[in-house]
């Protein structure tokens, strides 16, 4: 391997983003942020690294296995590089913005770094953009956040995606109401999440039949709600199904054409969530575009505060988008350089020659530009 080739190597899961992809990514992030702004969300930015103890508190408690750590030579304390920005938003909301009026609407965009990727996302450094609405428990807050997720992903150029709804605590609460022990509950939860019918078949009595029926209920929202309504559930648990049905109806008033599915057995990646959660899946099935839901944050006094938000995975949005055309760029030869400012004012992207070119059109083609300025005219190549 040559020295040049070795210098180009990067660690697994990390990559350089070159033109024009870097520009497209920046454009997607800008579009997402503008969507967030339009709903009244204010942008905040948090540092890439914080004290490890802070990042692993509260909603970040499960992130330790994915976190890069390093010693801070200034404080002599361990730092962590953020694996998710939601943890930092929770910290800011409950400390520096603890006295701010509620509901608190915050948005963000930035890079995160992880020790390893997962099955759906092998990259270890990814760009996230998202929102958090803090301090409002009403269902209208969940509706606003999911509606914003749908609209922002559409604004970024994606349509035809599926919105999957779940209640991560539904299965544990159902098991608790049925008197199922903790070990069996964990096994049932894993089986439902992984669609493991064999494990459910091994369950004895009415519980086995109930959880198999719950597994078979997963699917398109209307069919799922119909099947879930037929289940013999304790009243407190059944009320959650009624709440889900009401939420679906309200969402469809705003987004009548969105494809909705329900899977109450799904909980992975929603470990700290407590209420309604959702995932936006790409139209071709190539991973998750966004994920979010309801959770709690704790302030320095220990008091819990409810929040709901979502994260958009910019890399997934980039993959799902139709490939953009190469940006128009006009090459202006050195002798015509005085015209460049006028063309830029008209909205053109302009590159001026730095040395005289024998053939301006050939030089423009060599450099990959789309147009050339010649004799007072812009000619497409």
On the question of a cis peptide bond just before residue 367, with omega within 30 degrees of 0, the verdict is no
What is the spatial distance between Cα 153 and Cα 156, in angstroms, rounded to a whole number?
A: 5
> Domain limits of the chain?
11-157+280-324, 169-266, 330-380
Distances in Å between the alpha carbon of 321 and those of 50, 239, 318? 34, 39, 5
And the tokens for 230?
Answer: 């037929």
The residues that bridge with 304 in the sheet, in sequence order, are 298
Are 128 and 314 within 8 A, CB to CB? yes
Length of the chain: 381
The predicted pLDDT at position 228 comes to 96
User: Would you state the pLDDT for residue 68?
Assistant: 94
Q: What is the DSSP letter of 301?
A: T
Q: What is the pLDDT of residues 255-281, one digit of tens each?
A: 999 999 999 998 887 877 889 999 999
Longest dimension (CA), the chain: 87
- Tell which residue, 177, 172, 206, has the closest CA to residue 192: 172
In this prediction, residue 233 carries a pLDDT of 92
The per-residue pLDDT for range 21-40, each reduced to its tens digit, is 999 999 999 999 999 999 99
Nearest to 45 by CA among 129, 133, 148, 145: 129
* d(C-alpha 3, C-alpha 15), whole Å: 18
The predicted structure's pLDDT at residue 119: 63
User: pLDDT below 50 — which residues of the chain?
Assistant: none
Instruction: Give residue 52's pLDDT.
Output: 94
Check: CB of residue 319 under 8 Å from CB of residue 286.
Answer: yes
* Residue 59 DSSP label: G
Pick the CATH number of 11-157+280-324 from 3.40.190.10, 3.40.109.10, 3.30.930.10, 3.40.50.920: 3.30.930.10
* Angle between helix 235-254 and helix 170-177 axes, rounded to 10 deg: 160
Give, in order, the Cα–Cα distances in Å from 59 to each of 41, 130, 245, 296, 298. Answer: 21, 16, 28, 8, 9
Instruction: Using DSSP bridges, classify how beta strands 42-43 and 49-51 pair: parallel, antiparallel or unpaired.
Output: unpaired
The pTM of the full predicted model, rounded to 2 decimals, is 0.92
pLDDT reported for residue 304: 87
- Asked if 40 and 101 count as a contact pair (C-beta separation under 8 A), the reply is no
pLDDT of 89: 95
Residues in Cβ contact with 334 at an 8 Å cutoff, skipping those fewer than 6 apart: 352, 353, 354, 355, 356, 357
Q: How far is it, in rounded angstroms, from Cα 83 to Cα 173?
A: 29
- β-strand partners of 371: 330, 380
In the DSSP assignment, the letter for residue 353 is -
pLDDT of 335 reads 94
Helical spans, DSSP H, in the chain: 3-8, 21-38, 52-55, 86-94, 139-155, 170-177, 182-194, 197-201, 205-216, 221-229, 235-254, 314-320, 340-345, 360-367
Report the pLDDT value the prediction gives residue 3, as an integer from 0 to 100: 63
pLDDT at 58: 81
């Amino acid at each position: 391997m040559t020295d040049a080739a070795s210098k180009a190597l990067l660690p697994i899961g990390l990559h350089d983003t070159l033109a024009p992809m870097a520009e497209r990514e920046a454009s997607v992030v800008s579009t997402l942020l503008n969507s967030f702004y339009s709903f009244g969300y204010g942008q905040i930015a948090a540092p890439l690294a914080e004290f490890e103890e802070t990042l692993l508190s509260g909603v970040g408690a499960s992130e330790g296995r994915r976190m890069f750590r390093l010693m801070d030579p200034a404080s002599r304390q361990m730092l962590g590089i953020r694996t998710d920005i939601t943890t930092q938003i929770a910290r800011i909301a409950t400390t520096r913005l603890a006295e701010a009026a509620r509901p608190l609407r915050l948005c963000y965009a930035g890079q995160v770094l992880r020790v390893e990727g997962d099955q759906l996302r092998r990259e270890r450094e990814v760009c996230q953009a998202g929102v958090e609405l803090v301090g409002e428990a009403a269902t209208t807050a969940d509706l606003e956040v999911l509606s914003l997720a749908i609209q922002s992903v559409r604004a970024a150029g994606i349509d035809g995606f599926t919105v999957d709804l779940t209640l991560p605590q539904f299965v544990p609460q159902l098991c608790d109401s049925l008197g199922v022990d903790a070990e069996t509950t964990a096994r049932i939860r894993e089986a439902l999440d992984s669609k493991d019918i064999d494990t459910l078949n091994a369950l004895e009595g009415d519980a086995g039949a109930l959880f198999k029926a719950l597994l078979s209920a997963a699917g398109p929202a209307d069919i799922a709600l119909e099947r879930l309504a037929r289940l013999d559930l304790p009243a407190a648990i059944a009320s959650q199904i009624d709440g889900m049905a009401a939420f679906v109806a309200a969402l469809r008033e705003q987004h009548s054409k969105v494809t909705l599915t329900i899977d109450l057995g799904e909980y992975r990646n929603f470990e700290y969530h407590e209420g309604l959660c959702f995932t936006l899946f790409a139209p071709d099935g190539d991973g998750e575009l966004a994920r979010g839901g309801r959770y709690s944050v704790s302030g320095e006094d220990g008091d819990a505060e409810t929040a709901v938000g979502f994260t958009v995975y910019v890399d997934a949005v980039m993959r799902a988008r139709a490939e953009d055309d190469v940006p128009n760029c006009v090459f202006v030869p050195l002798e015509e350089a005085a015209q460049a400012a006028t063309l830029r004012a008209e909205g053109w992207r302009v590159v001026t020659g730095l040395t005289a070119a024998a053939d301006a059109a050939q030089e423009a083609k060599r450099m990959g530009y789309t147009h050339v300025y010649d004799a007072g005219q812009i000619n497409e190549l």
